[in-house]
Each structure stands twice: as structure tokens, then as C-alpha cells.
A = this chain, B = another copy of it.
Amino acid sequence: MRATLMYSAGDVRVESVPDSVIRQPTDALVRVTASCVCGSDLHPYGSMKPEDGPARRMGHEFIGIVEDTGSEVTTVKRGDLVVAPFAISDGTCEFCREGLHTSCAHPQANFWDGEPDEGGQAEAVRVPLADGTLVKLPVAPDSALIPSLLTLSDVFGTGYHAALMGGVSARTRVTVIGDGAVGLLAVLSARRLGAEQIILMGRHRERTDLGREFGATDVVAARGEEGIERVRELTGGHGTHVVLEAVGHMPAYEQAIGVVRPGGVISRVGVPQYEQAPVDFGTLFGPNIRLAGGPAPVRAYIEELMPDILDGTIDPGKVFDATTGLDGVPAAYQDMADRRSLKVLIKP
């Protein structure tokens, strides 16, 4: 079968690899019908060195048809259309029961990005812990809803996690930092939770226009001190109760410190590309700013978010602005890195 591998920064290839097969009685084999490239895939695409190790299989967001199941799998069967979250989890451990599937205690629990020889940007995938991980979709593989349902595997659930961990409610003002797919869906999520003001910080006009469609009340294109000043002007001087940080680089963290209101929350879902950050009296401590967030347990949110997609209330799939076959995946990475594409849908 064919699959996507990253060799090093800027070097993504689609190659023939051994077919994925069932190995454990709890596995399912899924034929991928829709997948995509993630903003977080761009981090290694910008930084991976050949000495970081062998080529990595890529892709942690996919929808597909169950082709085979291990003997212990009970919740999905051959022929089912399913969506997979970006983390493998058993659904039964104490963390999964609390809704923190990304900390699943099962020995086979993993992020797809850490799972050897499997990935969603491929023709097929072996899915460990299929009962806990996969969710059946009540539509056909060619449904017009597929792009929106595919966002349940990561970007929509991640934006929603940011908003939930930030404590967004009808009485909160929110700043969203980053106009990538996660930032835009953080806007949609903040709107869904009733935020009274949603300020989107981003510089790409087509993206921030989509952000307005998703519910942003204000857009700030300026960055750094100028952007901070502008957000403060929009909020009576004090900044917003909640900041959703959907980038992961230090300038975004510093911007978050600049626009958060005393007593507020910075909720991070952009994977931090730094180890240390300022947390001292002059930044977080003095004004009692809280720092929250992490990899989203999107599995916990799929059933909650799906009905609004199925009935057409929301259309998070609008974050996809391009579609390609597997052959076009290397170009899709480059297009996203160059900001020519917001997010590319893959039809293997």
C-alpha cells in the first residue's frame, strides 16, 4: 500500500510500504477515505533533521471504512464508516472516564504521531484499541459532510478544548491568537459557548474573513506590541478574560501575556515549540493569570459536536480550502508551509 513519510525538514514522500494488517484482537483495519495535513505536521516539516531518526509515517486525522476487525472488537464492524481521533485510547481507564483520553493509561494508548509504521496519510491504517478509539459516522463515505466530520479527528475538537479549558462562557471576552484551522475553530467554539466578544488575531485576510463567518466580532492584524495595544483598546484597557493560543511559538505566548486580563486564563492548544516560558511575578503570577490547555482529548468531544454538523448548524469543514490525492501530499505540505493553503484534504 502507499503511505506518506517524512524524511527531514521539507522532505515528504509518498512511497510503497508493507500493507497494514490486524495484529491484536483489539485492532481494526481501516481503509482511509479522507485524511488531511495538520498545522502540527508543519513543525517537523520545518525542523526535522535526518539525524532525528528514520523516516516517520505521517497523518493523525482520518475517516475510513472498516475492512477487518480483531476478535475482541465489538463497537465497529466491517463496512462501517468511522472517524479516528488523533490519540489512541481504550475508553475505559480512569483518565478516559474523566474525559482525558490523551492521558489514557492503557499500554497501547498512543498518539498516532508516536505510533510506528502507521499513519492517516495513507491508503490504510491499523487502529489499535478500536473500540475505544473509533467512532461510527452515520453518513456515506461520499457525503458532503465529510470535511466537517473530518475536523472531529483533531482541529475542531482542539479548538473546542481550548475554549473549554479557557472557561469560555456567555460572560467572557475572548482573544484567539492564530488564524490557522485550529484558531478559526477556536473562534467557532467560543461562539458556540456564547462568548460576548471574540477578537481574532491573524494577518491572512481570507482566513480572518472565515473567522468572522465563524463568529469573530473583531479582527486584529497587527502583532507584537502594536497588536497588544489594539486588543487593549477593544477591551476598555484591560484585555480579555480568556486567550486561546493556537500557534505554539514563543511570540504567541508573549502576545497572550500581553492581552490577557488580570485573573484571566491563557489556554494553549498550539503544541509549544519552546521548553521554558516566563511565569514570574511580572507575567503570570502577579496578575493571577492561569495557564491551561494541552493536547485535546478530542475523543471526548465527538459525540457532543457531531449533531450540529449533521443538522447543518455549523460547517467547520470550511477550513479545508484544497483537496488532493496521495500523490499531491508533498505539495500540500509545501502549500500549507507557504500559507498558500489553509488546510488540505487528502482523498487517498
> Is A15 part of the contact surface with B, judged by Cβ < 8 Å?
no
**Cβ of B294 and Cβ of A286 under 8 Å apart?**
yes
Number of this chain's copies in the complex: 2
> Is A288 part of the contact surface with B, judged by Cβ < 8 Å?
yes
Chain B residue with Cβ nearest A287:
B103
Chain B residue with Cβ nearest A100:
B263
Least CB distance, A171 to chain B, in whole angstroms: 11
Question: Which chain B residues lie closer than 8 Å to A289 at the CB level?
Answer: 294
Contact of A294 among B238, B278, B284, B295 (CB under 8 A): B284
Please tell me the size bucket of the interface on A.
Answer: 20 to 34
Contact of A100 among B94, B103, B262, B284 (CB under 8 A): B262
Q: How far is the CA of A218 from the CA of B73 in the complex (A)?
A: 43
Q: Mark A12-37, 1 if CB is under 8 A from B, else 0.
A: 00000000000000000000000000
Chain B residue with Cβ nearest A263:
B100
Report A279-337 residues with CB < 8 Å from chain B CB: 279-281, 284-295, 297
**Cβ of B280 and Cβ of A291 under 8 Å apart?**
no
Least CB distance, A244 to chain B, in whole angstroms: 14
Least CB distance, A296 to chain B, in whole angstroms: 9
**Cβ of A103 and Cβ of B271 under 8 Å apart?**
no
**Cβ of B262 and Cβ of A291 under 8 Å apart?**
no
Question: Which chain B residues lie closer than 8 Å to A291 at the CB level?
Answer: 279, 284, 290-292
Least CB distance, A66 to chain B, in whole angstroms: 30
> Is A268 part of the contact surface with B, judged by Cβ < 8 Å?
yes
- Could you name 11 residue pairs across A and B whose Cβ atoms are closer than 8 Å? A100-B263, A165-B288, A272-B280, A272-B285, A276-B278, A285-B294, A285-B295, A287-B294, A289-B294, A290-B290, A291-B291
For the A-B complex with A94-B238, A272-B281 known, give 10 more contacts whose Cβ atoms are closer than 8 Å.
Answer: A98-B263, A103-B287, A272-B285, A274-B279, A276-B278, A279-B279, A284-B294, A285-B294, A288-B294, A289-B294
State the 3 A-B residue pairs at the shortest beta-carbon distance, nearest first.
Answer: A288-B294, A103-B262, A276-B276
